Chain A
Amino acid sequence: EDKVVQSPLSLVVHEGDTVTLNCSYEVTNFRSLLWYKQEKKAPTFLFMLTSSGIEKKSGRLSSILDKKELFSILNITATQTGDSAIYLCAASVGGGTSYGKLTFGQGTILTVHP
């Protein structure tokens, strides 16, 4: 059975702190690893990682994938209250040549206090 596990499940920090969110996966026919941010409604896309060791960055957020050890991390530096959200990790699996079904982790609830 495909499995994605995130840690920690929840995290409370103060503005300005740096956080690291973890995601490990055990799936068959792995294609890519995705990170989403979910506030009140729909998950919004952050990163898609397909190659090991290549860091992707967007502002204060960055992520990297290790396909040998089967994990990914999401870093957020200089956190702000607007970073408070649920961060979801998902493994894209199977799907022929161009699509992939997502298996999600349970999410990390990040709370940033002023």
Chain B
Amino acid sequence: NAGVTQTPKFRILKIGQSMTLQCTQDMNHNYMYWYRQDPGMGLKLIYYSVGAGITDKGEVPNGYNVSRSTTEDFPLRLELAAPSQTSVYFCASNPPNQPQHFGDGTRLSIL
């Protein structure tokens, strides 16, 4: 039982490039979330999903897209990377009425 696994751990992108941050969980949780954490700040919700095939926007969705084709996977896509997207990205999941558990994060720098 690996919990929530995020890949890659680190990445440097050039402005305008695209990439996908991977998130997978092996706990059969329906609910999954993507957050970003900027230096000295708390986490902000980007997108979330309540089950396969269902996604919805959070507080800061602009510049990102998600998909949820399976219960296990919830990838986050950046289409045109911008410096403002430099951040640490966390994926989380939870079962009903239980706290969210987080992956170790992806540190992304856009230069």
* A101 part of interface (Cβ distance < 8 Å): yes
Which of B67-75, B76-84, B90-98 lies on the face that meets chain A?
A: B90-98
Q: Which chain A residue lies CB-closest to B103? A: A42
Interface size in chain B (residues, C-beta < 8 A)? 27
Contact string against A for B residues 32-44, beta-carbon threshold 8 Å, 1 for contact and 0 otherwise:
0101000011111
Q: Is the CB of B41 within 8 A of A107?
A: yes
Q: Which of A48, A90, A98, A107 contacts B96 (CB 8 A)?
A: A98
Q: A41-B104, A45-B101 are in contact. Are A88 and B42 (CB under 8 A)?
A: yes
Q: Is the CB of B96 within 8 A of A99?
A: yes
Q: A99-B50, A101-B58, A105-B42 are in contact. Are A43 and B90 (CB under 8 A)?
A: yes
Q: Is the CB of B42 within 8 A of A101?
A: no
Q: Which residues of A contact B94 (CB under 8 A)?
A: 99
Q: Which chain A residue lies CB-closest to B48? A: A101
* A102 part of interface (Cβ distance < 8 Å): yes
Q: Is the CB of A41 within 8 A of B41?
A: no
Q: Which of B43, B99, B100, B105 contacts A41 (CB 8 A)?
A: B105
Residue among B33, B41, B97, B98 with the highest chain A CB neighbour number at 10 A: B97
Q: How many residue pairs, one in A and one in B, have C-beta atoms under 8 Å apart?
A: 56
Q: Which residues of A contact B42 (CB under 8 A)?
A: 4, 6, 88, 90, 104-107
Chain A residues touching B, range? 20 to 34
Q: Which residues of A contact B35 (CB under 8 A)?
A: 102, 104
Q: Is the CB of B44 within 8 A of A104?
A: yes
Q: Is the CB of B103 within 8 A of A48?
A: no
Q: Is the CB of B43 within 8 A of A102?
A: yes
Offer 7 A-B interface pairs, CB within 8 angstroms, sorted by A.
A4-B42, A42-B104, A48-B99, A99-B50, A101-B33, A102-B35, A107-B42
17 further interface pairs, Cβ-Cβ under 8 Å (given A105-B42, A106-B42, A107-B42):
A34-B100, A41-B105, A42-B102, A43-B90, A44-B102, A45-B101, A88-B43, A90-B43, A98-B97, A99-B30, A99-B50, A102-B33, A102-B43, A102-B100, A103-B59, A104-B44, A106-B40
